Amino acid sequence: MALVTFNDILPQARQAGRAVGAFNIANYETAKAVMIAAEAEQQPVILQVYHRLMSDPYISALGAMMRNMAEKASVPVAVHLDHGATFEQVKLAIDCGFSSVMFDGSQLPFAENLEQTRSAAEYAHRHGVTIEGEIGHVPLNGTEAAVNIPLSTPEEAAAFAAETGVDALAVSIGTAHGYYREEPKIAVDFAQQISAVVAIPLVLHGGSGTPHEKVKAVIKNGFAKVNVATEFQHTFQLRLQDELQKQDGKFLPLDKLMLAPTDAAVKHLRTLIHMFSHP
The CA-based angle 239-181-152, given to 5 degrees, is: 115
- Using Cβ positions, the residue closest to Zn ion within the complex turns out to be 205
Shortest CB 205 distance to Zn ion, Å: 3
Residue with Cβ nearer Zn ion (76 or 84): 84
Cβ proximity to Zn ion, 18 vs 205, nearer residue? 205
Of the candidates 115, 127, 202, the one whose C-alpha atom is nearest the C-alpha of residue 164 is 115
Q: Helix or strand or coil: residue 57? A: coil
The smaller minimum CB distance to Zn ion, of residues 14 and 205, is found at 205
Tell me the CA distances in angstroms from 39 to 10, 46, 69, 76, one per residue in order.
Answer: 18, 12, 11, 10
- The answer to whether the beta carbons of residues 115 and 146 sit under 8 Å apart is no
Residue closer to Zn ion, measured from CB, 80 or 205: 205
Shortest approach of Zn ion to residue 227 CB, angstroms?
Answer: 5
Identify whether the C-beta of residue 201 lies closer than 8 Å to the C-beta of residue 222.
Answer: yes
* Cβ(235)–Cβ(263) below 8 Å: no
Catalytic-labelled residue, pool 82, 104, 167, 248: 82
Q: Position 69: which residue type?
A: M
List 100's β-bridge partners, or say none. 80, 130
Alpha carbons 121 and 200: distance in angstroms, whole number: 14
Q: How many amino acids of this chain bind Zn ion (CB under 5 A)?
A: 1
Binding segment for Zn ion among 7-15, 36-44, 54-62, 198-206 (CB under 5 A)?
A: 198-206
Please, what is the minimum distance in Å from the beta carbon of residue 143 to Zn ion? Answer: 14
To the nearest whole angstrom, how small is the minimum distance from the Cβ of residue 175 to Zn ion?
Answer: 9
Q: Which stretch binds Zn ion (CB under 5 A): 54-62, 199-207, 216-224, 257-265?
A: 199-207
235 vs 238: CA distance, rounded Å: 5
State how far the Cα of 31 lies from the Cα of 272, in Å rounded to an integer: 15
Contact between 51 and Zn ion (CB under 5 A)? no
> 228 phi and psi, to 5 degrees?
-135, 125
Q: Catalytic site residue 82?
A: yes
Dihedral angle sign, alpha carbons of residues 48, 117, 57, 237? negative
Q: Which of 14, 205, 225, 239 binds Zn ion (CB under 5 A)?
A: 205
Candidate segments 16-24, 84-92, 144-152, 205-213, binder of Zn ion by CB under 5 A: 205-213
Helix (H, G, I), strand (E, B) or coil at 195: helix
Which CB atom, from 203 or from 258, has the smaller least distance to Zn ion?
Answer: 203
Stretch that binds Zn ion, among 36-44, 116-124, 204-212, 242-250 (CB under 5 A): 204-212
187 or 258: CB nearest Zn ion: 187
Q: Which amino acid makes up residue 192?
A: Q
Binding mask 148-187 for Zn ion (x = CB under 5 A): ----------------------------------------
Positions marked catalytic:
82
Q: In the complex, which residues of this chain contact Zn ion (CB under 5 A)? A: 205
